Amino acid sequence: MIFKIVSRRSVVFAFCSFLLLCNAAAPTTLAHMSVAKLTQSSRLIVRARCVDNFAAWDAAEIWTFSTFEPSEIWKGSSQQRVSVRLLGGRVGNLTSNVSGVPRFKAGEEVALFLAPTARGDFSVVSWVQGTFRIHQDPRSGTETVTQDSASFDTFDPSTKKFTPSGIRDRPLDELRAQVADAAPQEPGAGK
């Protein structure tokens, strides 16, 4: 009887392991999105500092929850802090990696293109494409942004090819201006 229990558990464990490996091996394909398309797809766009991160189980999957403190709101409106949930992370001895999902470190500054989730928090629009890391030149003080997709291949439907297409080392002011140009004019704005 013990052999049957161990055998069944082994089979179930092997099957679950197989499913996890298959899921981990599945590629992520992102279609290229311009800053204008990212802006139109976002409800909230912020410049923010990451405050903290933690991973937890939710709906039978591992999620990483990051908290941000916005310093500028480029589109939409926000509370004092914004919670972002992204698939994957590490809980105990289990790690779930999802290609194309950005990860954040406490203290870093980013520009994020966000969409609300059904749970009341936010997700990053098109993951690495909606994430821009902010860097400041220590000598000049000039701030630039690099899109996470600068090193991630995205699919360009017009050429039918995968290429890295992200923005690299662009002045932050240029990104802010592109968002302002692409954001729909709010009723009563500009008065």
Tens digits of residue pLDDT in 99-128: 889 999 999 999 999 999 999 999 999 999
- Which pLDDT score is estimated for 107? 97
Q: Which of 15-24, 32-41, 51-60 bottoms out in mean pLDDT, i.e. has the lowest?
A: 15-24
| Domain residue extents for the chain | 29-182
Burial code (b: 16+ CB inside 10 Å, e: under 16) for 167-191 equals beebebeebbebbeebbeeeeeeee
* CATH number assigned to the domain covering 29-182: 2.40.50
